Chains A and B, each alone.
Chain A
Amino acid sequence: MPNSSTDSRKPLISMRNVSLSYGNFQALSDVSVDFYQGELVGLVGDNGAGKTTLIRIVSGIIAPNSGEVYFDGERITKFYPKKAIDLGLECIQQTIGLCDNLSVGRNYFLGREPTRRIFGLPFLDKKKMREASAKVIHDFGLRATVDVDDEVALLSGGEKQTFKIARAVTFRNRVIIMDEPTNHLSVRERGRVNELAVQLKQQGLLVIYITHDIFQIHRIADRIVILENGRKVTDIPRDAMSAEALEGIIRDGAKASAVQRSRNPKEEP
């Protein structure tokens, strides 16, 4: 069992000494971090700090080289996305998540298509698919001309992002991970996404919010975790430090590692 001496609550997700490398590149080294139900955690760091790698492990896309991952106290031994989804984890990824060639409705239900039985055989319940995704389009204020039968390729970058968020939120279960959710979004849409993150937390979900904008996340997060070159360098409650001070950590960390890299050019590719 992961240690729980510092916190009386049981962590929902617990990562113990997790490491992962892509070839020579050490993306994560010996990271231990806990996430609790009902909290909004900001996962912050510069480009290449290991944020996306960390959540790829949590959402089952890749398996760590070493270390342990626990979900609700249970050790995870096999890593694949279906498992994470079944455990109640929805992840809004930056670059993936939608198939351009499929309609909005088909994308919405991909992997959990509703069916109706005809002669005992499972056929797509297209009516249900249309109605549910039309409601989502409407609720999240996508432009009126977006049709559930339109291919996703016809949506703009912002619309795709909004749609991904909408899908994750509607299927909400226990955990929502947002990887740079406000990319491609207008200022007003950004505000709405941040509000949404807070609402989800208030409903008792664990929200992990990944960004490199410390000022934006400092306003809404309960806790800030900073990664730097694949290591966890800071893990503190939001109130413990100002956004400016945290930004200093990220900036100095980047500088320090740049110096280190120039001293040992062979260490990092």
Chain B
Amino acid sequence: MRQFLRRLVRKHPEAGTITLVVLISLLFTGLTQGLWLSVGNLQSLSQLTAVLAIMSFGEAMVIATGEIDISVGSTFGIGALVFLGLAPILGSGPALIAALLSGFLIGILNGIFVALVGIPSLIVTLGTLFLFQGVAYAATSGFSFAATDTVRKEFIYNSVGGGNLGSLNGAVWWVAAILMVLHLVVFETPVGNRILAVGGDAASSYSRGVNVGRIKFGMFLVSGLLASFAGVLDAAYIGYADGSFGASMELSAIAAAVLGGCHLTGGRISLLGTLLGAFVLRGIQSFLIILGVQPQWYILVLGLIVVFASLTDRTLTRLALRR
């Protein structure tokens, strides 16, 4: 039995998160007399989860290489603002491309300073977090951008979160597709092998001929791209965005990844786990809203979860690696 548990934890870091998902689902459903499990709540929960998960996937990819990207909150906001700001003028297609490009550029900026200059990613991305938050506030200067009625009728707008496919928001379909692609890339391709190797032991990877800088650079691009795309998905769903859009989302993204079994030291990640982690966080958030608890308490819960998750994470790893 112990042996089985060890193997399970070693091969499937998300096993703990799955258990957590089942437990809190039961608990919240019971405590809210079934309201939490209602179709309406699950529909909004799935949209919220999808948006957070897409952002957290990027975070997980950066964490896989042993770095961290705190700037995703601002990138999310910039992506949303660029999309909604340009869509009424250029149409939602070009606006989408511009939004993704902005995330890509933030990723390049982070990548240059981390991978080429060699500054710790915590410092670099903390800097870009504030930098682009500042840009977002300055660009909106107290106003908000909103989608016009013409834009809301456009096909692209509706396929990037503005509308539903079946009874689920577009973002839910996007998260499924992105999860599949990233999972295959990380675990089934040579690039994925090198990404995990860099996070596990950068010096050893380098000595085996892996271009450590290029891999890290690439993951910051992926993170920037996904964060801005998540911003677009959420902006199209809500229909308007202001300078505070995405504020403190970076905390949730990191928490979702850690909760999902990604090791902050790098080299071990789970993308399915990250999706489940995002679900748990959003589930708690919606539970608190249903209970009528002030939303500020969510931040406190978030902090507790990160501390608790990293503790369990260490214990589980020790268990798995003991012979």
Residues on A facing B (Cβ under 8 Å): 59, 61, 81-82, 85-86, 91, 93, 96-102, 106-107, 109-113, 115, 121-124, 126, 151, 153-154
Contacts and interface: CB of A to CB of B under 8 A. Distances in A.
Contacts of B205: 99, 110-111
Interface stretch (B91-99, B195-203, B248-256): B195-203
Interface stretch (B76-84, B185-193, B217-225, B230-238): B185-193
Contacts, number: 84
A106 B192 CA distance: 11
Contact of A112 (B184, B200, B206, B209): B209
Interface of B: 10, 184, 188-190, 192-194, 196-197, 199-201, 203-211, 267-268, 321, 323
Given A98-B204, A100-B201, A101-B200, A111 B209 contact: yes
23 contacts: A59-B207, A61-B206, A61-B207, A81-B207, A82-B209, A82-B210, A85-B209, A96-B204, A96-B207, A99-B205, A101-B197, A101-B200, A102-B196, A106-B193, A110-B193, A110-B210, A111-B208, A113-B190, A123-B184, A123-B188, A124-B190, A151-B10, A154-B321
Nearest to B190: A113
A101 B211 contact: no
A82 B207 CA distance: 8
Among all A-B residue pairs, the 3 with the closest Cβ atoms: A101-B200, A101-B267, A82-B209
A81 B209 contact: yes
Contacts of A106: 193, 196-197
Most A CB atoms within 10 A — which of B190, B203, B268?
Answer: B190
Contact of A98 (B190, B192, B201): B201
Nearest to B210: A111
Given A96-B207, A107-B197, A113-B193, 9 more contacts: A81-B208, A99-B201, A100-B201, A109-B193, A111-B210, A115-B189, A122-B189, A123-B184, A126-B188
B67 to A, nearest CB: 15
The main secondary structure of chain B at its interface with chain A is: helix
B262 to A, nearest CB: 12
Contacts of B190: 113, 115, 122, 124
A61 B211 CA distance: 12
A97 B323 contact: no
Contacts of A151: 10, 321
A123 to B, nearest CB: 5
A55 to B, nearest CB: 11
Contacts of A101: 196-197, 199-201, 267-268
A121 to B, nearest CB: 8
A113 to B, nearest CB: 4
A79 to B, nearest CB: 12
Nearest to A156: B323
